[in-house]
Amino acid sequence: MIATVGEYLRQFSIPVATVHVSPLCRAKESAALAFPRHQAVIVVPNLIYTANMTAAQKRPILAETRRLLSTPPPPGSNSLVLAHGPNLMDLIGYFPKEATLVIFRPKGNGAMDYVASIPASRWLELAQ
């Protein structure tokens, strides 16, 4: 499913400057499937899965996630963060389904606006 999301991003000519990815194998494999030729895939140790962690253990991971989601990308481009549903749940109270593209408008300094979510199943409908 994640490979399909990457294909649709390319089909719609959505520019992607960077892809920040969790260090866990499944996340790195997903990034490789979705963005096989992308040069700027960055593995971020503090994007690790938070579901089984204490609040203190989660704190630096959520801070890094917030930083990445709130940092504006280069003009005319987008940044992607490929991580884990529990992390987003801990951060904003929303648990997306697998391969859902969750869109934020970064405002800098830890602030961002939630814009929309596009489940993988909706991309075909959007393409028509």
Indicate whether 2 pLDDT > 80: no
What would the pLDDT profile of 85-113 be if each residue is shown by its tens digit?
A: 999 999 999 999 988 999 999 999 999 99
17-34: average pLDDT: 92
Structural domain 2-123, CATH architecture: 3-Layer(aba) Sandwich (3.40)
19-28: average pLDDT: 94
Best CA proximity match to 42, nearest among 14, 73, 63: 73
What would the pLDDT profile of 110-125 be if each residue is shown by its tens digit?
A: 999 999 999 988 877 8
10-14: average pLDDT: 89
37 pLDDT band, cuts 50/70/90, is confident
Residue 93 has a pLDDT of 94
**What ranges do the domains of the chain cover?**
2-123
Among positive and negative, which fits the CA dihedral 81, 44, 46, 25? positive
What would the pLDDT profile of 50-59 be if each residue is shown by its tens digit?
A: 999 999 999 9
66-95: average pLDDT: 95
As a whole number of angstroms, the distance between CA 104 and CA 61 comes to 18
